[in-house]
């Protein structure tokens, strides 16, 4: 247990569905992240929230929509996805204070399959 | 953009030593991290280097040479539970992490 939880752990959805992924961190951190992990490829940073404001949006298609209502919760809203969006979606959190070894703590991920 | 290279796979025997190399070319440098990820699980933090030299943490050590854009993770006295993927990640001047594709280490009895 890393102090970061994600639900659901597995999700199968059709291309016309709308679903949301949820992440919660119990570590008192002030920054949260969404990553996409595809087989044999590096983790791709999707979004970064610091102090509940989005500070990074890595050219992610608009069919992915993040939401950060407070410093402990992060959502990823999904709509009209494509089969190539099937991947493991990882949430992470860290304490960011402008320096130091503030490593990121990852959740277990949501395995998403788009049919 | 960032370019981080590490071998795809390595195999070693229980009790042996394995060294996983990572080379990087990034826009700015603010530290290098190593993470371990078991199949189906979250990546977990192993080590952090920001200055040149060796950091030792029990059976695991990590080395950094900033001038060469090079790091390695050394796993000693390998155990079966060390079979996992090892991810090299570099933090740039904007404090953003970029990851390599990971090295899958298989430990054989």
Q: Are B84 and B18 in contact (CB under 8 A)?
A: no
> How far apart are the C-alpha atoms of B10 and B19, rounded to whole Å?
9
Query: DSSP of A36-52, one letter per residue?
Result: EE-TTS--EEEEEEETT
Assess contact for A108 and A9: CB atoms under 8 A. Answer: yes
| pLDDT tens, position by position, B48-61 | 999 999 999 999 99
Supply the pLDDT for residue B77.
97
Q: Smallest CA–CA separation between B13 and chain A, in Å? A: 24
- Return the top range by mean pLDDT from A1-5, B11-15, B25-29, B41-45: B11-15
> According to the model, what pLDDT value does residue A98 have?
62
Residue of B97, B101, B103 best to disrupt the A interface, most CBs of A under 10 A: B97
Average pLDDT over residues B56-77: 96
Mean pLDDT of B85-92: 94
Cβ atoms of residues A66 and A49 within 8 Å: yes
Q: Cβ of A43 and B87 within 8 Å?
A: yes
| Chain A residues in contact with B8 (beta carbon < 8 A) | 40
Confidence of residue B1 (pLDDT cuts 50, 70, 90): low
B101: nearest CB among A41, A105, A107: A41
At A106 the pLDDT is: 95
Beta pairing class for B3-5 and A53-57: unpaired
Confidence band (pLDDT; 50, 70, 90) for B25? very high
Residue A101 has what pLDDT? 55
Tell the burial category of B77 from Cβ atoms under 10 Å away from its Cβ (0-12, 13-18, 19+).
Answer: exposed
β B9-13/B103-108 pair status: parallel
pLDDT per position as a tens digit, A10-46: 999 998 889 999 999 999 999 999 999 998 789 999 9
What is the tens place of the pLDDT at every residue in A54-103?
777 778 999 999 999 999 999 999 999 999 999 999 999 998 876 555 78
Could you tell me what percent of chain B has a pLDDT over 70? 99
In this prediction, residue A16 carries a pLDDT of 87
Flag whether pLDDT at B13 surpasses 90. yes
């Amino acid at each position: 247990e890393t102090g970061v939880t994600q639900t659901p752990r597995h999700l199968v959805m059709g291309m016309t569905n709308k679903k949301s992924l949820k992440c919660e961190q119990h570590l008192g951190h002030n920054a949260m992240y969404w990553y996409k992990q595809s087989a044999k490829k590096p983790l791709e940073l999707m979004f970064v929230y610091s102090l509940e404001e989005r500070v990074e949006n890595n050219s992610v298609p608009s069919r992915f929509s993040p939401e950060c209502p407070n410093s402990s919760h992060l959502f990823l809203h999904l709509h009209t996805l494509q089969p190539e969006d099937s991947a493991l979606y990882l949430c992470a959190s860290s304490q960011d204070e402008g320096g130091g070894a503030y490593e990121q703590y990852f959740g277990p991920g949501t395995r998403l399959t788009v049919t | 953009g960032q370019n981080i290279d590490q071998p795809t796979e390595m195999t070693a025997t229980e009790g042996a030593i394995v060294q996983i190399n990572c080379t990087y070319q990034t826009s700015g440098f603010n530290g290098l991290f190593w993470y371990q990820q078991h199949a189906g699980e979250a990546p977990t933090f192993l080590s952090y280097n920001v200055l040149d030299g060796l950091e030792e943490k029990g059976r695991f050590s990590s080395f950094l040479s900033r001038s060469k854009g090079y790091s390695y993770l050394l796993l000693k006295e390998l155990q079966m539970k060390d079979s996992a993927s090892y991810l090299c990640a570099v933090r740039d001047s904007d404090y953003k992490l970029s990851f390599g594709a990971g090295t899958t280490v298989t430990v054989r009895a």
